[in-house]
Chain A
Amino acid sequence: GQNIDQPTEMTATEGAIVQINCTYQTSGFNGLFWYQQHAGEAPTFLSYNVLDGLEEKGRFSSFLSRSKGYSYLLLKELQMKDSASYLCAVRDGRGSYIPTFGRGTSLIVHP
C-alpha cells in the first residue's frame, strides 16, 4: 500500500515564505504531484516531480528526494489568495498512472 503524510494545517503571514512537507512510503515510485484546492472547489495542478531536485515555477517551487521519500512545496511572497488546501499525491510503480492523494495541508495566510 501507500502511506502519504503531510501536516494538517499551517499558518503564515502575507508576504512570507512557507514550506509544506510531504513524506511518502510506496511500492515503487513514478512521480509526485502537488495540487492546490480552494474550499468547495476542485484541485488544480501545481507541480510534478519525478527526478530529485527542485522545480521552480514562479512563486511556487517543489522539491523531491526519492531516497528519503520526501518532498516539499515552497510558496514565496505569500498572498491572501494562497489560503487553500495543498495536496501531495504520489504515483507508485505499479504501472497505473493514477496517484494516491494525501489528506492535504490547510494553509491559512493572514495579514
Chain B
Amino acid sequence: GAVVSQHPSRVICKSGTSVKIECRSLDFQATTMFWYRQFPKKSLMLMATSNEGSKATYEQGVEKDKFLINHASLTLSTLTVTSAHPEDSSFYICSAPGQGKGYEQFFGPGTRLTVL
C-alpha cells in the first residue's frame, strides 16, 4: 500500500511558539491530503483538507489562522500550529487517499504535540 510519512513524531514546545508538522506521500502523488486531530480515547476529528496549489478547506470550528496549512507540492503538506497553547496538545495525523476501490485513507504515523 501507499506510504505516508509524518515529521516530527513527537514535539514538546513552550506556550506561544509555533510548530510545523510535515506530511509526505513517499511513493505516490497526493493532490489532496487531510489533517486530523485525535484526543485520548476519542475519534479522529477532521480539521481540514489540504489541496495542492490552492487554499485548504477547513472544517467548521477550526481556526484557519491558528492552524496554517500549506500544500506546496504533490508530495508534501504542512500544518503549522501558530502561537500554540496547552489546549492545542493533541495527536495530529495526516492522511492521503489511495487509489483503491474505496479511496481508503493512508495515514501518517502521527505527531504527538505537547504544549507546556
Contact = CB atoms under 8 A, between A and B. Distances in A.
Given A31-B102, A42-B109, A48-B100, A87 B46 contact: no
A103 B42 contact: yes
By secondary structure, the A interface counts as loop
Interface string A88-109: 0000000001111111101000
B112 interface: yes
For chain A, give the interface size range.
20 to 34
Nearest to B108: A42
Contacts of A111: none
A45 B103 CA distance: 11
Interface residues of B, number: 26
A43 B103 CA distance: 15
B108 A98 contact: no
A98 B106 contact: no
Contacts of A43: 44, 93, 105, 107
B110 A97 contact: no
A42 B102 contact: no
Given A42-B107, A43-B107, A98 B102 contact: no
B103 A41 contact: no
Given A42-B93, A87-B44, A102-B43, A97 B103 contact: yes
Contacts of A40: 91, 110, 112
A44 interface: yes
Contact of B41 (A44, A99, A100, A106): A106
Interface of B: 1, 6, 34, 41-44, 46, 49, 91, 93, 95, 97-98, 100-110, 112
